[in-house]
Structure 1
Amino acid sequence: MTTITRDRSLIHHTGWGYFPVAFLARLPFAMMVVGVLTLVSSATDSVALAGLTSGAVGVGVVVAGPLIGDLVDRFGQRPVLLPIGIANGVLLSLFPLVVLSGLPDAAILAAGALIGLTAPQAAALSRTRLIAITRERVAEPRRERTLSRVMSYESAADETAFVVGPVLVGLLAALFAPWAPIAIAAALSFAFVTAFALHSTAALVDRAPAPAAGRAPLGAVLSGPVLLLVAATFGVGLFFGSTLTSLTAFAKASGRPELSGLLYGLMGIGSAVLALTVMLLPSRFRLSWRWLVFSGVLVASAAGYAFANDLGAVTVMLCLMGLGVGPTLVTLFSLAGERSPAGRSATTMTLLGSALTLAQAIAAAVTGAVAETASAQVAMLLPVVAASLVLVLGLVNSRVRTPVDGAARSARD
């Protein structure tokens, strides 16, 4: 890849239009699990089948994610993402027909799995794309700060998408029909995943894919330091899924079920805002320490949430939880950018994204069952478990020794 105009900012190379396209391209991914759950439960009157189908979507995502990342690392983003986005749009369009036509449960489960297998990995590939452009085209004096801003922005965009997605599903299902969220997700996949694949920034990244000789073997992604990040991201996904589901159960038990989406949105907004402020933290505040500090905030606030007994207290705790989860997610993806083996950035990022999505689906199913069989208050303990897992893994990470320290590698690369 040529390295001309290194004195220009990242925006010069991407253009302002890149960011709304990349954000909208990740919405189908954020909508599909909840959308499938909503449609199947409404059409079949079976919460069990709905949970299994959304779980099949999650399994499909986690199976295909690393494979898609490997293909991208080999052949570039555009040749891989374009057909996948089209296939996903087609499968989402057909899914309401499969569910509403009275086909056997096995057919519904298979359709859900296919949706997950073709899930567009726009968030992971956007990170990979911006990191590559920054490292190749931004001058060294401003590179470290630009990489920090990229990670902060991308995590904030993820937070926003994971809030907007479920809320959009709920609104469309309530205002139109249970199949409407899936139809909109299909349209978004056709339009914006395609636009993201065809955007000029893809050509910048794909122009010179890493040669096979310089690309680490796929097994290198499964190293201990990278798998530790995957496990921690899985813990964050468990936190998201258990919080949304337990909050829904609590709001319903309080007689205000319509407030669950709004309250969850408060956590997401605070999380996204603080994720953006991570770029202002000094480089001497190392990533390993950020992981411990912000996951500690997450555990403390989740404990307060678990023992809150009215909507006012829950609202306060949700805002505090947002202060912990956003920076934690930024930290994990920043470490992933540093630890990804040579030529395996897309594989690493898609692996983390897949873990996040699968964990959300699993946590939603488990938390829903706990709320139904025990109580909403018991279900509200599960985010504490998820947050504690992230903190424990942060303690393990503090003992990990990697060849290159974070900021140094970012600046050097």
Structure 2
Amino acid sequence: MASTVTSEPSKDSSAPPRPGYGNLLRTRGAWTFLLPGFAARQPFAMLTISIVLLVQHTTGSYGVAGAVAAVTGVSMALCAPWTGRLADRYGQRAVLVPGVLAHSLSGLVLTALALGHAPLWALFVAAVPTGASVPQVGPMVRARWGVKLKGSPLMTTAAAFESVTDELTFVLGPLLATALCTAVNPAAGLVTEASLTLIGGLLFAAQRGTQPSVAVKGHARVEHASALSIPGVRVLIVAFLGIGSVFGGMQVSLAAFTESIGEPGLNGVLYGTFAAGNMISGVVCGAVAWKSAPQQRLVVGYVALALAASGLWAAHSVPVLAGLGLLVGMCIAPALITGYTLVEGLVPAGARTEAFTWLTGAVALGQGVAVTAAGQLEDRFWGGAGFLVPLAGTVLALGTVLALRSRLVARPRGRTVARGVGHRLPVTVD
């Protein structure tokens, strides 16, 4: 049974008001990292679809395009936690500046190779640094919220706000990338993505005052145990792979569907509808003061997502597919928001950027595998076969969450690791 925590009457005047976006956005200093952070994360939603559209144009194969995009996703998934750990240890700016420079350069190299009809192995080689250097701005923003709010009930609202922000980028990003690739030039999406990464990333890195401080003891930096050592984080990683399978499967399958009916420009509209559903439900989730346990909400979210995804493969018209896409999108936000909210209770502050990047990396990995699988299914079987990928991924995620949900319960933290030595820390109880 879910339990709720209430403040004593004498503390009501100092307790935060009911969770809401107005209270969240009045947090001192929040806008200094929110605005550049939004600009810096916009290219993330453009990368995969830009690669798919460019490579498909130059090779004529969704399978090849999906494979190149998958290499990018896998590289990001493998390197994102490493960059997150470095950001926790050395500071976000120290990691972000070289990262955005490397990503912009490698994205332009990949573009030139694709336009030059380079062999597939060359595209794979260029895709590795392109994915490995993707700036982890979303996790960095979430870590900054954690510092600002420090256990406040507004953390759930912050998680919802970040999910809404992510999904707003997934509304605008695919629309922009598709418009650029279809109306301007097949390479325009990837070139714009590289340019926005460079400008937005450097602006975000310049906001040094809001980045989490690096823990230092004496003249040595305090090293925390990896977030991956926490069982609950490992469960969430598998769960977020399922969410990535939805994103990747939808991107390729919607692109293939709109091309099959002779309306490729509808791709961005359909994917934007899917992302809009996510954004709408995210807004609602952030405005609700939840009384149920987050573990229960996570299970319900994945049940709803699996049921919604089960009908995609049978849709054969634009209105039906748009409606189902909207429903699937609306089911994603509760799962994402709850997963990110659970991190606060499961992971100590000094490892949260890494934890968030593990989850972001899991989404990218799931997306990369999904675009490959969906591309192969679309090339080899009937139109719409790629929509089986989101269904399979969400069912796997649901089974994992159901079987291991007890590991998502936060345990009291009696120790933290610094230079290999355990130290008792005081715990404040509201």
TM-score, normalised to structure 1, is 0.87
What is residue 195 of structure 1 aligned with on the other side?
203
In the alignment, is the contact (CA less than 8 A) between 1:173 and 1:181 conserved in 2? yes
Q: CA deviation at 1:26?
A: 0.8
> 1:13 aligned to 9, 28, 46, which one?
28
The Cα offsets for residues 240-262 of structure 1, whole Å up to 9 and x where unpaired, read as: 11123223333344454432321
Rounded to whole Å, the distance in 2 between the matches of 1:130 and 1:33 is 27
Please give the residue correspondences for 1:213-362 in structure 2 after superposition, counting only pairs within 5 Å.
215-218=223-226, 220-362=227-369
Q: Is 1:162 the counterpart of 2:163 in the alignment?
A: no
The gaps in structure 1 that reach 5 residues or longer are 1-5
Aligned amino acid, residue 284 of structure 1: K
Rounded to whole Å, the distance in 1 between the matches of 2:410 and 2:119 is 53
Aligned amino acid, residue 363 of structure 2: L
In the alignment, is the contact (CA less than 8 A) between 2:175 and 2:268 conserved in 1? yes
What is residue 29 of structure 1 aligned with on the other side?
44
**79 and 379 in structure 1: CA distance in 2 versus 1, 3 angstrom threshold:** closer
Rounded to whole Å, the distance in 1 between the matches of 2:290 and 2:256 is 41
What is residue 125 of structure 1 aligned with on the other side?
140
Q: Is 1:402 the counterpart of 2:417 in the alignment?
A: no
**309 and 41 in structure 1: CA distance in 2 versus 1, 3 angstrom threshold:** closer
What is residue 100 of structure 1 aligned with on the other side?
115
In the alignment, is the contact (CA less than 8 A) between 1:90 and 1:186 conserved in 2? yes
Secondary structure of the structure 1 residue equivalent to 2:306 = helix
What is residue 88 of structure 2 aligned with on the other side?
73
Secondary structure of the structure 2 residue equivalent to 1:351 = helix
Of 156-165 and 44-53, the range deviating more from structure 2: 44-53
Q: CA deviation at 1:342?
A: 4.8
Secondary structure of the structure 1 residue equivalent to 2:147 = helix
In the alignment, is the contact (CA less than 8 A) between 1:53 and 1:113 conserved in 2? no
Q: CA deviation at 1:44?
A: 4.3
What is residue 77 of structure 2 aligned with on the other side?
62
Q: CA deviation at 1:84?
A: 1.0
In the alignment, is the contact (CA less than 8 A) between 2:230 and 2:346 conserved in 1? no
In the alignment, is the contact (CA less than 8 A) between 1:305 and 1:317 conserved in 2? yes
**124 and 363 in structure 1: CA distance in 2 versus 1, 3 angstrom threshold:** same
Q: Is 1:87 the counterpart of 2:118 in the alignment?
A: no
Rounded to whole Å, the distance in 1 between the matches of 2:302 and 2:28 is 34
Of 102-111 and 371-380, the range deviating more from structure 2: 102-111
Q: CA deviation at 1:210?
A: 6.0
Aligned amino acid, residue 64 of structure 1: C
What is residue 416 of structure 2 aligned with on the other side?
none
Of 387-396 and 289-298, the range deviating more from structure 2: 387-396
Aligned amino acid, residue 35 of structure 2: P
What is residue 116 of structure 1 aligned with on the other side?
131
Rounded to whole Å, the distance in 2 between the matches of 1:316 and 1:97 is 38
Rounded to whole Å, the distance in 1 between the matches of 2:349 and 2:33 is 26
Rounded to whole Å, the distance in 2 between the matches of 1:311 and 1:19 is 35
Structure with the higher helix share, 1 or 2: 1
**249 and 335 in structure 1: CA distance in 2 versus 1, 3 angstrom threshold:** same
**48 and 354 in structure 1: CA distance in 2 versus 1, 3 angstrom threshold:** same
Rounded to whole Å, the distance in 2 between the matches of 1:14 and 1:75 is 22
**52 and 263 in structure 1: CA distance in 2 versus 1, 3 angstrom threshold:** closer
Rounded to whole Å, the distance in 2 between the matches of 1:395 and 1:209 is 36
**21 and 248 in structure 1: CA distance in 2 versus 1, 3 angstrom threshold:** same
Identity of aligned residues (%): 26
In the alignment, is the contact (CA less than 8 A) between 1:71 and 1:80 conserved in 2? yes
Rounded to whole Å, the distance in 2 between the matches of 1:26 and 1:290 is 27
Rounded to whole Å, the distance in 2 between the matches of 1:412 and 1:106 is 56
Q: CA deviation at 1:103?
A: 4.6
CA RMSD between the two structures: 2.8
Secondary structure of the structure 2 residue equivalent to 1:332 = helix
The Cα offsets for residues 115-165 of structure 1, whole Å up to 9 and x where unpaired, read as: 111111111111111112221xxxx7xx21x21111001111112223332
Secondary structure of the structure 2 residue equivalent to 1:381 = helix
Rounded to whole Å, the distance in 2 between the matches of 1:198 and 1:97 is 30
Q: CA deviation at 1:47?
A: 4.5
**205 and 256 in structure 1: CA distance in 2 versus 1, 3 angstrom threshold:** closer
In the alignment, is the contact (CA less than 8 A) between 2:144 and 2:212 conserved in 1? no
**337 and 296 in structure 1: CA distance in 2 versus 1, 3 angstrom threshold:** same
Rounded to whole Å, the distance in 2 between the matches of 1:291 and 1:77 is 30
The Cα offsets for residues 173-211 of structure 1, whole Å up to 9 and x where unpaired, read as: 112111111211121111111001112xx3333444365
In the alignment, is the contact (CA less than 8 A) between 1:274 and 1:326 conserved in 2? yes
The Cα offsets for residues 68-106 of structure 1, whole Å up to 9 and x where unpaired, read as: 011111111111111211221222233323333455443
Q: CA deviation at 1:275?
A: 0.9
Of 154-163 and 91-100, the range deviating more from structure 2: 91-100
Q: CA deviation at 1:222?
A: 3.3
